[in-house]
Structure 1
Amino acid sequence: MLIMGYASEDLIALLRKTREGAGMTQRELSQRSGVTQSHISQIESGKLEPGLSSFMALARALDLEPALVPRKLVPAVAGLLRAHAPLKPGLSESTRHSLSRALKLIESRRAAQGESPDLERVLDSLNMLRIAPLTAEDAVQLEAALRMITKTKSESPKALREAADVLTSLRNKVAHGRATSPRPAYALDEDDLDA
C-alpha cells in the first residue's frame, strides 16, 4: 500500500525503487501496466508528471495498492508497513540470471515433452518469485532450488519434483505471509479482546 502524503517525486522514486528491486525493466512494467515505456521513462526521469490513472496502473502492476489514509493514521500505517517489510527487497544479479536460465530450461523442456504438473508448478512458482520481495532466507531457498533445476538440466523427474516442492512451499510462504508467533489463550489484555 502506498501512502499518498508524500510529494510526487517521492512517490515516483518509490515506484522506481520497487520496479528495480523486483528486477523488472521498464518494458516489462509497460507490458504489465498498459502505460507506454516512453511515459514510464519520462515519469521516472522527472520530465513528466503522471496522471492519477497512470500512477494507479503502475503501482498496481508492481503489486502496490495506493490508498488515501486519514492524516492522523499515517504514522500507524507507516509503522505497520515497516514492520512487515521484507529484509531483502530484490534478488541479486546472479540469482536473477540463474532464475532466467532456469525458466528457459523449463520452457524448453515443456516445449519438447509437453506439459506436466511438476513443470507447471515450477513455472508458476518461478514467475511469481521473480517479482516477489524476498527475505535473505527466502533468497537462499530460491537459489538452492534453482541449482537443482540447472545442474540436472531438469531432466530428472525426481529432481524436478523436489524443486517444484521447494518452490511451491516458498511461493506459498511469500504469498501468505510469515507465520506469527502464537499467543497464549490466557493472555487477555484490555487491548486484546480477540485473544
Structure 2
Amino acid sequence: MAYKTEYLTQRIRAAREAMKMSQRELSARSGLTQSHISQIERGTMEPGLSSLVDVARALDLEIVLAPKKLMPAIRNILESASATSDTLTLEQRKLVGRLERWFAQFRDGFAIASEADTFRDSLALLRHLPLSADELDRLKDATERLDRWQADPPSSKELSEFAHSVRQLRNSAVHRDRDDAIPRSAYALEEEDDNA
C-alpha cells in the first residue's frame, strides 16, 4: 500500500543509513520505539506528524512548508548538497564558523537590521553548500578582513560592502548548476498569457 508520506519515509530511512545509524539508535534519539521506526520505514504504518518531526530532527533534518514558487531554488540547493555533501571541506567549515562567531559579537555594528539578518542567513547556507575552489578563495578573502578589523573596526559602509560580498558568494553557490556551471533560476515564473 502506498501512503501519502512514502517519499518522506524513504528519505528518513536513507538519511538514517547514510549516518550509519541503527533503528535502535534512532529510537533512542527520537523517543520512538524501534518497532515504530521499523513500521514507518517499511510503510506498514502511516506516521503521525509529531512522530515524523521527532524522527527527522533526530536525524538532523527539518520538515518545513515552503511556497511552491520557491521549490526550484530549494531543489537546487538540496540536489547540490546531496550530490557533493562529502566535498564540504574542514577549511570551509572553519571559515564559516569564524564568520559566524565574529557576527555574533559584531551584529550591532550593522546600520540596517535587515542587512545583518541577510548576512546571518547567507552564513547559514554557506555552512551547507559545497563551494568551488574559486568560491572557497573568496570565502578566505572575506575572513581575512576580520584580521584587519581587529585593530581598526570597520565603518558601517565597510560592513555593508562586506555583507554584500558574502551574499554574492552565497548566491554564486546557490545558483550554480554543478553539472555545467550554468546558473539556474531560483524562482519559477508564472506561465505567460498567450493572448498578450
Q: Give the TM-score normalised by the residue count of structure 1.
A: 0.48
Relative contact order higher in (CA < 8 Å, ≥ 6 apart): 2
Q: Give the TM-score normalised by the residue count of structure 2.
A: 0.48
